[in-house]
Amino acid sequence: MGDAVKLSGAQVAPDAWIEGVESAEFKTLIDAKQRSIMPMIVIYMVGYMSLSILAGFGRGILGTKVLGAVNLGFVLIAGNYIMSWVLAVVYARISANRHDPLVKVVVDKAHATGGAR
Amino acid sequence: MNLITVAMFAGILLISLGITAWAARRTRTTVDFYAAGKGLTAAQNGFALAGDWCSAAAFLGFTGLTALYGMDGALYAVGPLVAFCTVLLLIAEPLRNTGTYTIGDVIMYRMRQPPALAAAIVGTIVINLAYLIPQMAGAGVLIKLLFGFRYDVSVMLVGLGMIVYVAAGGMLATSWVQIIKAVLMLGAGAVVLFLALAGVGFDPLVFFASAEAKAGPNFLLPGNLLKNPFDEVSLGLGYMLGLAGLPHVMTRFYTVPDATTARRSVIWVMFLAGAFFACTTIFGVAAVHYLGPEALRVGNPGGNLTLPLLAQYLGGGKDTVGGQLILGFVSAVAVATILAVVAGLTLATSGAVANDLYVNLFRKGKVEEHQQVVVARITAVLVGVVATLLGILAEGVNVAVLVILAICIAASANFPVLVLSLFWRRFNTGGVVGGMALGLISSVGLALIGPAYLGSNAIWPLVNPTVVALPLGILGAVLGSLLAGRDHEHEKRFGEVTFRIQTGVRSSRS
């Protein structure tokens, strides 16, 4: 690697710390995170990009009147606000209730084995 | 000159300077200067994020765009909220766990090779300047309008204000200036919303029906502003991924003690800023309802004065005390907004120059702590002076292209590099350089030959080139990684990187 540079404030050793990474607890954490985060990413990306694509190529569809003068476009825009807020609350709850306890297990074990500070 | 505006703005300025004096005494180390001692709470950082992200372009711009162009304005307003989904799910916590002060820190932690850091520095500086110059120019126009000073004097006053905030008070002062500004802005928004809705018996549907009746049947359809369908897609892509590549917003996650607090601060900003963005859409259609489309087109370039005009009308009209009072309040908040946002940009740019370029790249981290703080402060002054000069030179130049450019580069160059650094094992220095180069060149090149810069002589049809530049940026990152060849030592270290991304625990066997 030649020109390895020390970061301000962070101690890094390239060969340190294989035990923590390969522990069963850490794999459980990664699996739990992927299972909850991946579907959320798909939901908001599909939800928002469909709105953007329809705004470009489905202008007539978005112009369909839904509620008085308000058309489908504005309803979908409102839907994107609600989607973002719901995802925010759901993610906050899942990570506090499920991910954070798993992180704590991994970190405690890391400290116990003396591999990190 | 509106005396009420002057008095209110003077009040905000005095409070901000008081905070700066208080923060200056508490800013002794680099952690204090760049990251407010990592001591902000989730709510404080959430308000500060709302302050950073609701620039004048959002505060005045979205309202104006909705009033002039209908649904396209509402599409401009919703994207910045959805953008925070990307930040929440992919970026905020990993960034807090791996970096120290800058985005360059994260890239350097992962790659540990100078060319990667150099690429990150270029990305940060180009994006920040592209964001800063239009803000400075906009501030010059607004202050000239409100106080009657000359344009160059106005820009210099803004420059002086931001240099004092940043150089003296660092991130602590910048954060609190943002927090106060966010509170005032949300307060102003709530007052205008209440008055606007009170006029129609709290039924916002009246605004839509009335706006459509007054501004024509096409008003509520998309495409009034962004004629080319691909521009709508670019807008969506740019917002969705660009925020996560904006250095001045991302460095905010270093001001909190841990990843959990970083996450909670994103939840705060999503509700604070999201509610505000939703209100700008209501304000836009309400302005058409109350003032009529013709009145909004007179002396209102880009629609930026729509919100002040609406506020004045709702306060009682041009010649009433109520109208003057609320107009003064909204205008003062608008100036405070610009000042706070340029301060945040100056600080993030100083971080890239002083911490990344000078300390980590030139001196390989071998700079004494107290010296680093001195270098950081001097850099802040220099960056401020350069931004002020560029702001003065930008008078009369079409700077709209720069706003689009900033978001486009952030999405096409910074975002792929940042995400792949965090999550792709095979990503390497070649990928960082390739992604940054292709993302940057395609964004800048296409924006400069497009209609935002060349007007009707444009060679390239899209205002916003993200829809092309983003795939090219990703392609550059992937090809660069593959062409650079495999480095098994580097890939083996990815486990350790992942461990730190997820837990914040650093390895320490050195």
Where are any strands of DSSP class E within B274-398?
none
| pTM confidence score | 0.92
Token code pair at residue B92: 């905020």
What residues in B contact A14, CB-CB < 8 Å?
A: 489, 493, 496
What residues in A contact B487, CB-CB < 8 Å?
A: 1
Residue indicated by tokens 């360059």 = B104
Cβ <8 Å between B263 and A92: yes
The shortest C-alpha distance from A91 to chain B (Å) reads 8
Of A8, A37, A88, Cβ closest to residue B270: A88
What residues in B contact A3, CB-CB < 8 Å?
A: 112-114
Residues paired with B352 in a beta bridge: none
Q: What are the φ and ψ backbone dihedral angles of A39, each rounded to 5 degrees?
A: -60, -35
Cβ <8 Å between B505 and A13: no
User: Cβ neighbours of residue A42 under 8 Å, at least 6 residues apart?
Assistant: none
Is B240 in CB contact (< 8 Å) with chain A? yes
Per-residue pLDDT of chain B (510 residues; tens, 9 = 90+): 578 778 888 898 899 999 999 999 999 999 999 999 999 999 999 999 999 998 877 888 899 999 999 999 999 999 999 999 999 999 999 999 998 899 999 999 999 999 999 999 999 999 999 999 988 888 888 888 778 889 999 999 999 999 999 999 999 999 999 999 999 999 999 999 999 999 999 999 999 999 999 999 999 999 999 999 999 999 999 999 999 999 999 999 999 999 999 999 999 999 999 999 999 999 999 999 999 998 888 877 778 889 989 999 999 988 888 888 888 888 888 888 888 899 999 999 999 999 999 999 999 989 998 899 999 999 999 999 999 999 999 887 777 678 788 999 999 999 999 999 999 999 999 999 999 999 999 999 999 898 888 888 889 999 999 999 999 999 999 999 999 999 888 998 898 889 999 988 876 533
Q: Provide the phi-psi class of B366: left if phi over 0, else alpha when psi is between -120 and 50, else beta.
A: beta
Cβ <8 Å between A9 and B100: yes
How are beta strands A70-71 and A65-67 bridged, if at all?
antiparallel
Q: How many beta-carbon pairs below 8 A join chains A and B?
A: 235
Question: What is the three-class DSSP state of B507?
Answer: strand
Residue of A nearest to B361 (CA): A5
The shortest C-alpha distance from A38 to chain B (Å) reads 9
d(CA A31, CA B332): 50
Q: Which of A8, A2, A16, A13 is nearest to B108 (CA)?
A: A8
Of A2, A51, A57, Cβ closest to residue B229: A57
Q: Which of B229, B239, B253 is nearest to B403 (CA)?
A: B239
What residues in B contact A88, CB-CB < 8 Å?
A: 84-85, 88, 266-267, 270-271
Is B371 in CB contact (< 8 Å) with chain A? no
Of A40, A49, A91, Cβ closest to residue B236: A49
Q: For chain B, what is the radius of gyration of the CA atoms?
A: 22
What residues in A contact B502, CB-CB < 8 Å?
A: 26, 29-30, 33, 103, 106
d(CA B257, CA B124): 24
The shortest C-alpha distance from A39 to chain B (Å) reads 11
Among B85, B228, B234, B429, which would you mutate to test the A interface (most chain A Cβ atoms within 10 Å of its Cβ)?
Answer: B85
The shortest C-alpha distance from B221 to chain A (Å) reads 6
